[in-house]
Structure 1
Amino acid sequence: MKYFRLQFSLVMGVCLAVSCLVSAKAQAQLVCLPAPRLLTTMPMGGQAGTTFEVTITGENIEDADELSFSHEGITATPSLGKDGLPVANKYTVTISKDCPLGIHEAHVMTRLGVSSSRAFNVGRLPETAQTAANTSLETAKKLELNSICNAVMSRQKIDYYTFEAGKDQRVIVDCAAKGIDSKLNPVVIIADERGMDLVVERRGGMLDFKVPETGKYVIKVHGLTYDGGPYHFYRLAVKNVARDEIVPRMPSIRKVSAFSWPPAGLTSEMLKPEAEPNNARAAAQKITLPCDISGSFFPAADVDTFEFTAKKGEVWWVEVASERLGRPTDPSIVVQHVSGSGSEVKITDLVELSDIPSPVKVSSNGYSYNGPPYNAGSSDIIGKVEIKQDGVHHLQIRDLFGGTRNDSKNIYRLIIRKAAPDFSLVGWALHMNLRNGDRNALSKPIALRGGATMPLEVVVVRRDGFDGEIELFMENLPEGVTATGLKIGKGKSRGTMLISAAEGTPRGLTSAKFFGRATINDQVVTRPCFLASMQWPVKNAWSEVPSPRLMADVPVSVSTSEQAPITIAPAEEKVWEVTAGEKLTIPLKHDRRSDFSGANITLKTYGEGFDRNKAFDAPLKAEASEAVLDLATLKTPPGEYKIAFGGYAVVKYSENPKAVALAEIELKQAQQQATALAAEAEKLQKKGDAAAKEAAAKAKTAQADVTKADKQLKQATAKAKPKDIVEIIFSKPITIRVNPAKKAK
């Protein structure tokens, strides 16, 4: 039986260029067309019922005009300068009093559409911000008890804070970093007034401090490796709490694996705590099935033993949540039949349960090389127990990582139930499985160009034996945007959602709703589909570990400043019919808006029932191509299907050429203004006019404007210079009806 396991994670890089598409020189090519990405907000949250200013930074957000949030209780308007005009990247944010506490999402709307998200926290404590360097004991920032400070860690520095407390007070110091999208691994220390360390937390945990004497105390914060910079932000909470109060951690984002928890309809009505001591078999805690138990892997090397009776032929399903609750654990269960007593006791292993496997093969490194860079599996448990004999059974649960971990916060929830077939869904923007080129793991917001179809990969964790097909659908999309789900087939683990924007679609942004629908026990069941994204756009995963997470919403946008490089669609918008066992030829039309490197794009077929269709080449410089589906080879049964064709192409991308034309106009206007002012200054100087000095100053300023406009033109021209970028190209979805073959008479 398995009581110990070492897990190795090899993380290397992401998104490489395709060898069949790209020549050897393509090693330096870029991957994925530019997308807006929100990288930081300062502060990273705020107190419910307050208004404050937020400053943002990001990629491709220079023209951001709207800061929005995943909850309507948080609103923002551009901050205005003394001239009454909006100040770039600054917004006045208001959080309503009734806004739910916890993690929300912030994103900005830009020329290219909606940006990737950044976690934004809403709490009930007053908040401050680090406004000056506090990297020495002498410059320590004073904090009031029951407050939160938003700060950024400086590289190779220690941030100092002070607080005052009375003897025997209980003070909690909690530093949120990884849980709010930060790259910081914080070390937090409480020291005496002279800066001498008293207690230290190096694993990102919470300090629970009993004040020994009334006075001033120091908090020191630094990175585990003394790293820092604008992406190493944190929220430091200092709380005065009651002696017996249970204090939760500050809110945290959720890992991708958490999408499968909790089961639908779970309540706490039957929840009972484990009762220690229950390590030894003789002290096993007696339970009656079904049951719902809360426990903890504490102290170190804890083994919790539960005893129940069951009859031969009974089938029970066991689910454990711990890793999905955000704990660094790896639960393992052994169920055994117990017979006899005393020296005659006989223990027979029945089943060992561990891990929820990933629904699909995950990339063998951190980027999308031979599978998605997202792991939807978990070290938690969903498993079946089939009772072979009547009588007493023992269930033992332990943490395979818990031999030396002495942390009471490593909790778990154990559910034993009769079969309740169900499913959970998560999706993410499809990544390219490329082998040569840049190693990227990019956050990819659903920011559609007109004429584009964006694919989302969707995977399912199935519960308690459910193996039915699942339909995918979306609601509340922007005007002109449609979503077509390529269903997850019976017993399969993967599907595709296609989101398409028609050419000429107006600019728009909505918070879409994403669902899966199936029939279980003759009842139609609808479940939400969570969206996952990379926390950071990792451009070289050789040097940085990609970090995906779940998002709190599904923002979908359309931009009008750019169109898709190419739209591939069926020649006719209709249901394409074919008889089972025959061939279907679908003519495709190409609406090209860009040039491409390479003559062809190799297209694969996506969609249940057709995904084994042989890949084919479509000419990139032609106006049309055709796809052939051989149903004799595919053996696709009669029915109606949704499919699409997708592949990779190297686009000759020119970034925002309109900006060049605008910059040229601004330069010409600046030159004309400068020439006129220079002439006026010279004229006044010759006359000896008293206004000549002021005119000369204006002419000098105008010449500086010319220099600035010339620099902006050069920058815009450099950006607009065509560059090769490998991009995912998907056709519009196609509906196919396979009719039964006629029976021979």
Structure 2
Amino acid sequence: MLAWCPLVWPLVICSIGVCLTCDRPAWAQLPAARLDGVFPAGGKAGDTLDVTIFGGDLDDVDRLIFSHQGISAKPKLAEATPFDDGPQPIENQFVVSIANNVPPGSYEVRCQGKYGMSGPRKFIVDTQQELVEVEPNASAETATEIGDLPVVINGQLNGTADLDFYKFQGSAGQRLILTGHAYSIDSPVSLVLTLIDSQGRVLAESQRTGNRDAVVDITLPSSGTYLLRAHDLLYAGAAHFVYRIAIGNQPSIDFVFPPAGLPGSNDEYTVYGRNLPGGQLSNLTLGGRKLEQIKSRISIPADITGNLRVTDPLEPYQASLDAVEYRVASPSGRSNAALITVAQAPVVFEQSGNDTPQTAQKLTPPCEVAGQFFPQRDVDWYTLDAKADEEFWIEVFSHRLGVPTDSSLIVFAVETSESGEESLKQIAWVNSTAARNGGFEFDERSNDPVYRFQAPADGTYRFLVRDGRSSVVSDPSLVYRLSVRPAKPDFRLAITPIDSSGAVFMRKGGREAVKVVVFRQDGFNGEVKLSASGLPPGVSASDMIIGPDSHHAVFTLSAAKDAAAGTGEVKITGTATIDGQQIARTARIGQPLAIVPFAQPNNPGQGSLSARLVDRLPVVVSESEAERITLTPVEPIAFETSRGGIVKVKYQVTRDTGAGGTIAGFAFGLPAVMNVPQFNIGGDTGEIEFRFPANMTPGTYSPNIAATVQGMNYTRNPEAAEQAKTRQTRIAAILMDAQKSAQESQAAATKATADLTQANTRVSQATTAKNAATQALTAATTAQKSTEQAVATAKAKLATTPDDATATTALTVAEKNAGDAVNQLKLAAEAEKMAVAALEKAMQ
């Protein structure tokens, strides 16, 4: 077993010294609930549906937790078997009920079991009828039949190269919007939608672009049967590769212009899209179709600074934004969300014709330009006058708006020759930043350039803004913000779990950590003090400091050995002093969406995972599991040293019985000028040496140590093993009882067979005796009748010859024979009666 085990402490560095304050953290890549997907990923308000979840470490998951109280779930039960005490839950299957009053929207669902609570997945509530794909439907011949429109299809690409086909009836001139939801529901599918007519001709095709799912906007050319094909762009597939396709006439937004507004404003914006209520055709074309436009006033709250009020998924690189979202409502449903960001200065619009240095648009800072990388190969020039040493921050916002751009900023000084001719001298060429402060779990890097401009002399300066994508496509939705402003130092924070895609799962007596990323704005380089709230009882966290020159830190949570099972929602707040005022910012929360591999925390070669911002970060204390290895500093926990000094931190390793393993350590929370290599932690005590370079910025820091533990013994879910053993014992007892019953039944059957054989023998014998008695009775009856006839004959003869002695003797003999015959008849009758009685008895 490989595991993590960190040691964390705050550190203070002064101009003549460094102060180190040690805290005590630890974490491990032990089992933690992971939710990869749910299917179906949504439903209609008022419906009850069966839902299956997919993921890892889902031991004893018995509940789904939704972000809306009107959505509930209970485990789906199988019919009881002789081996169970009543109906038992079916693994990873639930019955979900959506109340009638749940508004349509995007919600979050998590699962919880023995290994804590998972990260969230999107669950959509809609107003349209829902359809679940019917397999097999991998060909046009087996396409799933769609009934009436509008409809929402729920499907899975459950395997490599899976294709899903659907067919529906359409009418000539009917306009349909087909939206494939995959990215927006946390699915790894890069969904491609293809609409095909009855002749096999492809009418339209669409795939995800930037942060926007595939959209097909089509007016059907004729009445008839149409096919819809869905597949992954790379033909990948798995059980959690789920999607939803909405087919109808719902509105769809492509972009809003300008893309930003000032706090407290209620300005008019132009909304571009499809099927917009009251929309008029614009002069812009996208995907071969004219976009519609409407004018709408959008209110941006006055208190939006430092806040991000968005429900649709946002990427880690958007975590530094302040923003709201805007949707269009219509009788046929609501649109997708458009991101409206918060401007940092008054907004001006890009002027047409600013595509050469000579026609550069004049700017007067502070301002924000709302522009477009449009049409294809568009470049935009801007100019401003500046005094020597005058400072401005020039920043492009485009990729962070969810647009698939890769922009560059080129700054020039205008030089004039003696003859009056102007020439441009390049000062800077700025692309995106390269530092990945959030690690592979939370890659916050964007493609947007930012530049601190300081005028070298009085004069005129020009800068060029260009984009790579617009050089190959003509797309009016490639919008940008160009901010030119004096320095306004500020910061934003984001946190994400370390080594997990789920909630923070605390074992009793253990420590877990979250990565904290600080987005420093306009040269802010001050200390940021972090504090936590919302923790469950028994879990604590010491305040810590992100020092100057530092852009990230590790914040540690500690669970008491007797901490009770429970759940909280951690909120981390950062405070800093800027221009004499204390500023507080609440950290946004990020969550990896993919499986988090076990990797060295400082490994820059580890590929970044897909991740997004989420609404909360639960902290769950285990009901039964305890930490097996902890790494703690030994007093003192605070140190002070000069720049260029050396600090040695003593540590102690505490191991549970039998918890072996080799420990290797890594340092966190120190500025880039410090390069602390990996080191081994030998034995249960020792010390770690830190050398602080002479060029390190004075201040307070909170460094920490993470450590890998290789070879630690760990028993997974012993309760499940005990339950399985108990069930096996119960099944064995039931089997033994069944075997005993079977043996008794076999013996009874053998005895019954023998008794039946004997009974059959007795019946046969009685039948034979009865037949013989019947035959004897028949013979006796015949003989009796014969003797009676002989008596009658003898009497008649004697009557004619009364003196005939022979006749008299004959009569006497005949009468005697008749008497004997009567006796024999009586005996035969009695014998038959007895034989009949014996047969009846034998047959009972």
TM-score range, shorter chain: 0.7 to 0.9
Q: SS at 1:194's partner residue?
A: coil
Residue 559, structure 1, aligned to residue 622, structure 2: yes
- The residue that corresponds to 2:31 in the other structure is 34
Choose the corresponding residue for 1:198, options 200, 203, 218.
203
Residue 678, structure 1, aligned to residue 739, structure 2: yes
- The residue that corresponds to 1:548 in the other structure is 610
CA shift for structure 1 position 669 = 2.5
Give the unaligned 5+ runs of structure 2. Answer: 6-27, 80-85, 250-274, 281-291, 295-309, 325-340, 600-605, 754-844
- The residue that corresponds to 2:244 in the other structure is 235
Choose the corresponding residue for 2:592, options 509, 534, 537.
534
User: Which amino acid letter does the alignment assign opposite residue 547 of structure 1?
Assistant: L
Choose the corresponding residue for 1:687, options 739, 743, 748.
748
Residue 253, structure 1, aligned to residue 313, structure 2: yes
Measure the CA separation in 1 of the matches of 2:386 and 2:222.
57
Measure the CA separation in 2 of the matches of 1:498 and 1:96.
39
Measure the CA separation in 2 of the matches of 1:642 and 1:387.
36
Cα deviation, 1:239-265, whole Å, max 9, x if unaligned, reads 322464469xx9863332221223899
Residue 162, structure 1, aligned to residue 167, structure 2: yes
Cα deviation, 1:629-652, whole Å, max 9, x if unaligned, reads 789999999998755443221212
- The residue that corresponds to 2:660 in the other structure is 596
Q: SS at 2:470's partner residue?
A: coil
User: Which amino acid letter does the alignment assign opposite residue 38 of structure 2?
Assistant: T
Aligned residues: 638
Choose the corresponding residue for 1:657, options 704, 718, 743.
718
Cα deviation, 1:646-689, whole Å, max 9, x if unaligned, reads 32212122212333333223222222221122212221332239
Residue 207, structure 1, aligned to residue 216, structure 2: yes
- The residue that corresponds to 1:67 in the other structure is 64
Cα deviation, 1:33-92, whole Å, max 9, x if unaligned, reads 222211220112345676544221221213102212355565434345666764432334
Cα deviation, 1:580-617, whole Å, max 9, x if unaligned, reads 8897775636142442134xx34456555998789876
Measure the CA separation in 1 of the matches of 2:356 and 2:72.
56
CA shift for structure 1 position 169 = 4.4
Q: SS at 1:384's partner residue?
A: strand
Residue 424, structure 1, aligned to residue 492, structure 2: yes
User: Which amino acid letter does the alignment assign opposite residue 573 of structure 2?
Assistant: F
On the 8 A contact 2:344/2:483 being kept in 1, the answer is: no
Choose the corresponding residue for 2:235, options 226, 240, 254.
226
CA shift for structure 1 position 446 = 1.7
CA shift for structure 1 position 222 = 2.0
Say which is worse superposed, 222-231 or 532-541, in terms of deviation. 532-541
Do the aligned partners of residues 79 and 522 (structure 1) sit closer, same or farther apart at CA in structure 2, a change above 3 Å counting? farther
Choose the corresponding residue for 1:106, options 106, 109, 115.
109
Measure the CA separation in 1 of the matches of 2:691 and 2:234.
58
Q: SS at 2:476's partner residue?
A: coil
Do the aligned partners of residues 295 and 103 (structure 1) sit closer, same or farther apart at CA in structure 2, a change above 3 Å counting? farther
Q: SS at 2:354's partner residue?
A: coil
Give the unaligned 5+ runs of structure 1. Answer: 1-14, 19-30, 363-370, 432-441, 693-745
- The residue that corresponds to 2:446 in the other structure is 378
Aligned-residue CA RMSD (Å) = 4.2
CA shift for structure 1 position 281 = 4.3
Greater Cα radius of gyration, structure 1 or 2: 2
Residue 454, structure 1, aligned to residue 512, structure 2: yes
Residue 477, structure 1, aligned to residue 535, structure 2: yes
Q: SS at 1:161's partner residue?
A: strand
Measure the CA separation in 2 of the matches of 1:318 and 1:182.
36
- The residue that corresponds to 2:478 in the other structure is 410
Cα deviation, 1:390-420, whole Å, max 9, x if unaligned, reads 5654443110233112222222222222221
- The residue that corresponds to 1:118 in the other structure is 121
CA shift for structure 1 position 570 = 4.9
Measure the CA separation in 1 of the matches of 2:162 and 2:611.
29
Do the aligned partners of residues 569 and 635 (structure 1) sit closer, same or farther apart at CA in structure 2, a change above 3 Å counting? farther
Say which is worse superposed, 639-648 or 330-339, in terms of deviation. 639-648
User: Which amino acid letter does the alignment assign opposite residue 89 of structure 1?
Assistant: N
CA shift for structure 1 position 337 = 4.6
Do the aligned partners of residues 382 and 546 (structure 1) sit closer, same or farther apart at CA in structure 2, a change above 3 Å counting? closer
- The residue that corresponds to 1:348 in the other structure is 424
Measure the CA separation in 2 of the matches of 1:353 and 1:633.
31
- The residue that corresponds to 1:738 in the other structure is none
CA shift for structure 1 position 114 = 1.4
User: Which amino acid letter does the alignment assign opposite residue 65 of structure 1?
Assistant: D
CA shift for structure 1 position 216 = 4.2
Measure the CA separation in 2 of the matches of 1:638 and 1:381.
28
Q: SS at 2:469's partner residue?
A: coil
CA shift for structure 1 position 159 = 1.8
User: Which amino acid letter does the alignment assign opposite residue 116 of structure 2?
Assistant: G
Residue 152, structure 1, aligned to residue 168, structure 2: no
Do the aligned partners of residues 414 and 690 (structure 1) sit closer, same or farther apart at CA in structure 2, a change above 3 Å counting? farther
On the 8 A contact 2:629/2:653 being kept in 1, the answer is: no
Say which is worse superposed, 466-475 or 546-555, in terms of deviation. 546-555
Cα deviation, 1:515-560, whole Å, max 9, x if unaligned, reads 322111122222232343432226699xx97532123121221212
On the 8 A contact 2:545/2:700 being kept in 1, the answer is: no
Residue 465, structure 1, aligned to residue 523, structure 2: yes
Q: SS at 1:688's partner residue?
A: helix
Say which is worse superposed, 352-361 or 183-192, in terms of deviation. 352-361
Q: SS at 1:596's partner residue?
A: coil
Measure the CA separation in 2 of the matches of 1:174 and 1:93.
24
Tell me the TM-score normalised to structure 1 length. Answer: 0.74
Choose the corresponding residue for 2:550, options 492, 495, 513.
492
Tell me the TM-score normalised to structure 2 length. Answer: 0.66
Measure the CA separation in 2 of the matches of 1:45 and 1:429.
26
Residue 185, structure 1, aligned to residue 190, structure 2: yes
Choose the corresponding residue for 2:632, options 561, 565, 569.
569
Say which is worse superposed, 278-287 or 466-475, in terms of deviation. 278-287
Q: SS at 2:236's partner residue?
A: coil
- The residue that corresponds to 1:716 in the other structure is none
On the 8 A contact 2:527/2:699 being kept in 1, the answer is: no
Say which is worse superposed, 132-141 or 647-656, in terms of deviation. 132-141
Measure the CA separation in 2 of the matches of 1:128 and 1:226.
23
On the 8 A contact 1:338/1:345 being kept in 2, the answer is: no
Cα deviation, 1:188-209, whole Å, max 9, x if unaligned, reads 2122233321122355542222
CA shift for structure 1 position 380 = 0.6
On the 8 A contact 1:143/1:161 being kept in 2, the answer is: no
Cα deviation, 1:162-212, whole Å, max 9, x if unaligned, reads 345554444322222244332323222122233321122355542222333
User: Which amino acid letter does the alignment assign opposite residue 151 of structure 1?
Assistant: G
On the 8 A contact 1:425/1:460 being kept in 2, the answer is: yes
On the 8 A contact 2:138/2:163 being kept in 1, the answer is: yes
Say which is worse superposed, 252-261 or 497-506, in terms of deviation. 252-261
- The residue that corresponds to 2:833 in the other structure is none
Q: SS at 1:653's partner residue?
A: coil
On the 8 A contact 2:634/2:649 being kept in 1, the answer is: no
CA shift for structure 1 position 330 = 0.8
Measure the CA separation in 2 of the matches of 1:231 and 1:421.
43
Do the aligned partners of residues 587 and 326 (structure 1) sit closer, same or farther apart at CA in structure 2, a change above 3 Å counting? closer
- The residue that corresponds to 2:823 in the other structure is none
Taking the TM superposition and a 5 Å limit, the aligned residue runs for 1:359-370 are 359-360=435-436
Measure the CA separation in 1 of the matches of 2:187 and 2:690.
50
Cα deviation, 1:462-516, whole Å, max 9, x if unaligned, reads 1111000112222211221122354211122221111222223222223322332
Identical amino acids, percent of aligned pairs: 29
